[in-house]
Amino acid sequence: MSESPFTCVLDARASLGECPTWSVAEQALYWVDIHAPSLNRYDPAVGSNHAMPMPSSIGCFGLRARGGFVVALRDGVWLADASGRLERRMAGAPYDPHHHRFNDGRVDARGRFWVGTMNERRDAPSGALYRLDGERLTRVLGDVTVSNGLAWSPDGRTMYHADTPAHVVRAYDFDAGSGTPARPRELARWRGETDRPDGAAVDRDGCYWVAFFRGGKVLRIDPNGRVLREIAVPAMCPTMPAFGGPDLRTLYVTSARADRPDDELARFPRSGGIFAMTVDVPGLPEPLCDA
């Protein structure tokens, strides 16, 4: 880990940092601490972070074209203004909130918000992936335990999705018009206990960057499933990468420190922080939600 090219740019000590999303318009990184719970705005120009408290677990969010956010809270999907104040619930939670919650999600190129769910008990594949259609959640994929790793190829023809406890990332043909994935196939599968694919992002060349929760690394994988690069992160639980900076060549990675053993936190004291490094191939701007 001492040779990691990542540096900690925000020692946030987040319980469960997730969903980093770069705002091109603001040149700022938004992210969530699921357990705090809070939606955060990190300004790399001055190194400051502003937390916007949420009333319940926030799995993910999307930036709205008209300003503000669409946020996935434990009790449903909400619209929020630019200050993080909730305005209106768009859709209720499609699960029992006592043991399920929303998890990974993002906006597609057509401005639709997608959000996955997870079984917190992890005792059954009862999670799913949903698409927000107006004020209704449409179930698109099911039979997963922890929905994660959602991303699209630069041409929008391939959708990627992971089930973390199953150690697998799948690729789908994607119909952008209808928002429908088809013809699933394995992009990659791992066997190791710590090889747990979490959040992901795709670069301009179509390569899939994925964080490994409990694995202390991020991988760059080409569209054929070949691992091109493996990079250590100074935290055992990186959660999701995102491209940012003026040229989208800064790779940010969020991380977690909740429930980590004391000896691990002693070795990786900035667990829960946001890490960054410069990459050769830039990412793509995150689309804005039409909601």
Just list the catalytic residues.
Answer: 198
Structure tokens at 138: 């449409």
- Cβ partners under 8 Å of residue 96, min gap 6: none
Identify whether the C-beta of residue 217 lies closer than 8 Å to the C-beta of residue 209.
no
* 3-class secondary-structure state, position 203: strand
Tell me if residue 266 falls in helix, strand or coil: helix
The C-alpha atoms of residue 149 and residue 164 are separated, in whole angstroms, by 8
Per the CB < 8 A criterion, the answer to whether 253 and 233 are in contact is yes
Q: Do the Cβ atoms of 198 and 247 come closer than 8 Å? A: no
User: What token pair was written down for 59?
Assistant: 């799995």
